[in-house]
Chains A and B, each alone.
Chain A
Amino acid sequence: MKTGHGRETMKIEVRNLSKRFGPVEAVSNVTFGVREGELLGLLGPSGSGKTTVLRIIAGLETPTSGDIFIDGVRVNELSVQQRNIGFVFQHYALFKHMTVFANVAFGLTVKKWSRPDIKQRVEDLLQLMGLERMGDRYPHQLSGGQRQRVAIARALAPRPSVLLLDEPFGAVDAQVRQELREWLIRLHDDLDVTSLFVTHDQEEAMEVSDRLIVFAKGRLEQVGSPAEVYEEPATEFVARFIGSMNILDAEVKSGVARVGTLEFPAPQFQDGHHVHIGFRPYYVKVSDDATRFRQQARLRHVYFLGVSYRLEIETDTGLILRSRMNKEEFRQCRFEVGRPVSYAITHFRILPQESSPQAMPHVPLAGPFTP
């Protein structure tokens, strides 16, 4: 995967990083950079190695091989205490026997700040976090969202050069999570501290990140802006993991990949080559008028999703495809489950085949979808 972003200065650089736990390679040969002031998301399913990468950057874990640079300085030999990073743990990891004030002040006390300076800094941070009157409380007296903010305040207090967050919203319930996400984006805009966060929630990653890095099985799959990753998935894994995607298996013949009656131009591939064709549900246009589009199918299911509808159609050749349309489009048609419809695919991508054949699930026609 390409990660070189010109000569611009990188706040954090990870080079050829690998980490083994016994026989398991949790991280294999990962290289990427985090730009100054950026909010970067590390996205991947659980067990994909993203948290390990974060912990190695922090110095909480030692890499098997590879280098970490912060502000251009190689920090491999520096202990976690010397790296000047702020780390926010998934389950807050607040000091339960200390008040909110003492929690936030901890890093400053350790660094021997003067008492008035500590008081000033902690009060400023508590105000910034909307925790003004919470200084005397103990962690168990706070809500999940408040604890999370205390954890962030504590990490920010000693003015770290970078902020690392491990599943920052993993432990709060869905309603608070949305609020916290928006709050984190605003906070990041205000503070301008380079931040790297880990998440398994693709929606969260897309919403919060300036750029994101997709991980799978310890390898880096793609680096890019949320829009790039969504619209131009670099690998089949990314296509399946981010959003919902129809994936078809096709064979190329004279520059065209054919699946049943569907034809996808694929001039760059030779005859007999197997490719995967991917297209998002909203690129599948469906009409109740059987003559509107060239391709014919039968409507199998209609799912109401609130702001939109998802349609499941079965083509004449037995493919099952997913389509998505908004309410207006849906109301213009008179859909009835079981009736014939016509459809067209307006946009598609040819996904690179994964190198190892056994790594690819061999689903014959219509691919399964990410939830």
Chain B
Amino acid sequence: MARRLLIGLVWLYFMGLLVGPIGYLCVQAFEGGAAAFWHEITRPEALHGFSLTIQITAIVLVVNVIFGTITALVLVRQRFMGQTIMSGLIDLPFAVSPVITGFMLILLFGPGTILGTFFGEADIKVLYALPAMILVTLFVTFPFVVRELTPVLQTIGTDSEEAARTLGASEWVVFLKVTLPAIRWGVIYGATLTVARSIGEFGAILVVSGNVLMLTQTATMHIYQSYVDFNYLGAYAVAVALLAVSFLILIVLELAKTRVTAVARVGAAS
């Protein structure tokens, strides 16, 4: 009896918190029919939002995967001063509120600062433009790839890399043919988390973007804008579109997760 009650409670919690809102959102989004839904997600402001989100995500993804992999490799494989501090600070973006992240950037690139003046004179717009939006998203997503890769790198060890070197492989070949294949699912997992976070980021972007219609409005900001403008259907429709992407990401994550643990198991077994 108590067991049933417990399971029931968990179901209720799960339905009420997760499935209910999502289901209701979908229902609301299609209240006006498929045509209205389509109209909302293809209106210029929405399309511009999607396009901007995709641009930011693509750039952040590439930069984060490259630098995240390099950072993880250096952290795990090298011994250097300040290593412990660096390792500890990597999680900082998890702890800092995105709004604060945004403000830090404004302080850094504001008109009175050295950086702000420098870019101002070079006529490069950082704040209230794409560069700032990319920078805050990079900051927020920084830990994902690094955190995924460090344990994988520790598990696989350096034996097979050394074996490749004794067989004459250059450092680049060792990385490409030995290290990368061994850590690829970790990279994919970290990359997927990065994509999810980049698409969903709102707070930090809101602060640094200036929220200029058709210029610096990402998809999430478009949802927010539609909502405050009483265009509820528009907000729901774009939200559902993003939700669909989230489901895709969830599937990739699950797939990657099983492979990552498989690598860990094989690594530990041999």
Q: Which residues of A contact B (CB under 8 A)?
A: 58-60, 79-81, 83-87, 89, 91-97, 106-107, 110-111, 139-140, 151, 154-155, 157-158
**4 nearest A-B pairs in the assembled complex, by CB-CB distance:** A107-B167, A93-B159, A87-B166, A93-B163
Cα distance, A106 to B169, chains bound together (Å): 9
Cα distance, A89 to B166, chains bound together (Å): 11
In the bound complex, do residue A81 and residue B163 qualify as a contact, i.e. CB atoms below 8 Å apart?
Answer: no
> Does chain A have a CB within 8 A of B261?
no
Cα distance, A110 to B178, chains bound together (Å): 12
> Does chain A have a CB within 8 A of B20?
no
> Does chain A have a CB within 8 A of B242?
no
Chain A: CB-nearest residue to B161? A93
Chain A: CB-nearest residue to B166? A87
In the bound complex, do residue A85 and residue B166 qualify as a contact, i.e. CB atoms below 8 Å apart?
Answer: yes
In the bound complex, do residue B168 and residue A94 qualify as a contact, i.e. CB atoms below 8 Å apart?
Answer: no
In the bound complex, do residue B178 and residue A107 qualify as a contact, i.e. CB atoms below 8 Å apart?
Answer: no
In the bound complex, do residue B163 and residue A89 qualify as a contact, i.e. CB atoms below 8 Å apart?
Answer: yes
In the bound complex, do residue A95 and residue B160 qualify as a contact, i.e. CB atoms below 8 Å apart?
Answer: yes
Chain B: CB-nearest residue to A157? B167
**With A96-B266, A140-B266 in contact, is A87–B182 under 8 Å at CB?**
no
Q: How far is the CB of B4 from the nearest CB of chain A, in Å?
A: 43
B170 cross-chain contacts in A, Cβ below 8 A: 81, 110
**With A60-B162, A110-B173 in contact, is A92–B167 under 8 Å at CB?**
no
Q: How far is the CB of B91 from the nearest CB of chain A, in Å?
A: 29
In the bound complex, do residue B168 and residue A87 qualify as a contact, i.e. CB atoms below 8 Å apart?
Answer: no
In the bound complex, do residue A81 and residue B168 qualify as a contact, i.e. CB atoms below 8 Å apart?
Answer: yes
A94 cross-chain contacts in B, Cβ below 8 A: 160, 163
Cα distance, A168 to B168, chains bound together (Å): 21
In the bound complex, do residue B266 and residue A87 qualify as a contact, i.e. CB atoms below 8 Å apart?
Answer: no
* Listed A/B pairs (11) with beta-carbon separation below 8 Å: A80-B165, A81-B166, A84-B168, A85-B166, A86-B166, A93-B163, A95-B164, A95-B178, A107-B168, A110-B167, A140-B266
Cα distance, A256 to B54, chains bound together (Å): 93
Docked complex: B229-269 residues within 8 A CB-CB of A? 266
In the bound complex, do residue A110 and residue B166 qualify as a contact, i.e. CB atoms below 8 Å apart?
Answer: no
In the bound complex, do residue A106 and residue B166 qualify as a contact, i.e. CB atoms below 8 Å apart?
Answer: no
Q: Which residues of B contact A (CB under 8 A)?
A: 159-160, 162-170, 173, 177-178, 181-182, 266, 270
**With A91-B270, A95-B178, A96-B182 in contact, is A81–B165 under 8 Å at CB?**
yes
Q: How far is the CB of B183 from the nearest CB of chain A, in Å?
A: 11
In the bound complex, do residue B163 and residue A87 qualify as a contact, i.e. CB atoms below 8 Å apart?
Answer: yes
Cα distance, A139 to B165, chains bound together (Å): 19
In the bound complex, do residue B168 and residue A58 qualify as a contact, i.e. CB atoms below 8 Å apart?
Answer: no
**With A89-B159, A91-B270, A110-B173 in contact, is A97–B167 under 8 Å at CB?**
no
B182 cross-chain contacts in A, Cβ below 8 A: 96-97
Chain B: CB-nearest residue to A88? B163
> How many residue pairs at the A-B interface have CB separations less than 8 Å?
70
In the bound complex, do residue B164 and residue A106 qualify as a contact, i.e. CB atoms below 8 Å apart?
Answer: yes
Cα distance, A97 to B167, chains bound together (Å): 17
Q: Which of B165, B173, B181 contacts A60 (CB 8 A)?
A: B165
Chain A: CB-nearest residue to B263? A96
Q: How far is the CB of A104 from the nearest CB of chain B, in Å?
A: 10
Q: How far is the CB of B123 from the nearest CB of chain A, in Å?
A: 47
Cα distance, A84 to B168, chains bound together (Å): 8
Cα distance, A93 to B169, chains bound together (Å): 15
Q: How far is the CB of B79 from the nearest CB of chain A, in Å?
A: 11
Q: Which of A89, A106, A157 contacts B162 (CB 8 A)?
A: A89
Q: Which of B169, B177, B181, B266 contacts A81 (CB 8 A)?
A: B169
Q: How far is the CB of A126 from the nearest CB of chain B, in Å?
A: 17
Q: How far is the CB of A239 from the nearest CB of chain B, in Å?
A: 35
Q: Which of A89, A95, A110, A140 contacts B168 (CB 8 A)?
A: A110
Q: Which of A79, A106, A140 contacts B167 (CB 8 A)?
A: A106
A79 cross-chain contacts in B, Cβ below 8 A: 165
B169 cross-chain contacts in A, Cβ below 8 A: 81, 106-107, 110
Chain B: CB-nearest residue to A55? B162
Q: Name, among A86, A106, A139, the residue most crowded by chain B CB atoms within 10 Å (CB to CB).
A: A106
In the bound complex, do residue A97 and residue B166 qualify as a contact, i.e. CB atoms below 8 Å apart?
Answer: no
**With A95-B160, A97-B182, A110-B173 in contact, is A58–B166 under 8 Å at CB?**
yes
A151 cross-chain contacts in B, Cβ below 8 A: 163
Chain B: CB-nearest residue to A80? B165
Q: Which of A80, A91, A111 contacts B166 (CB 8 A)?
A: A80
**With A92-B270, A95-B178, A140-B266 in contact, is A158–B168 under 8 Å at CB?**
yes
Cα distance, A83 to B178, chains bound together (Å): 20
Cα distance, A350 to B33, chains bound together (Å): 101
Q: How far is the CB of A88 from the nearest CB of chain B, in Å?
A: 9
Beyond contacts A96-B182, A110-B167, A154-B163: 10 other A-B pairs, Cβ-Cβ < 8 A, are A59-B166, A60-B166, A85-B166, A87-B166, A96-B160, A97-B181, A106-B167, A110-B164, A139-B270, A157-B167
Q: How far is the CB of B259 from the nearest CB of chain A, in Å?
A: 11
A87 cross-chain contacts in B, Cβ below 8 A: 162-163, 166
**With A96-B182, A110-B173, A140-B266 in contact, is A154–B167 under 8 Å at CB?**
yes
A89 cross-chain contacts in B, Cβ below 8 A: 159, 162-163
Cα distance, A91 to B267, chains bound together (Å): 11
Q: How far is the CB of A357 from the nearest CB of chain B, in Å?
A: 37
In the bound complex, do residue A158 and residue B167 qualify as a contact, i.e. CB atoms below 8 Å apart?
Answer: yes
Chain A: CB-nearest residue to B171? A81
Cα distance, A58 to B159, chains bound together (Å): 13
B168 cross-chain contacts in A, Cβ below 8 A: 81, 84, 107, 110-111, 158
Q: How far is the CB of B49 from the nearest CB of chain A, in Å?
A: 40
A92 cross-chain contacts in B, Cβ below 8 A: 270
Q: Name, among B160, B168, B178, B266, the residue most crowded by chain A CB atoms within 10 Å (CB to CB).
A: B168
Q: How far is the CB of A61 from the nearest CB of chain B, in Å?
A: 10
Cα distance, A83 to B167, chains bound together (Å): 9
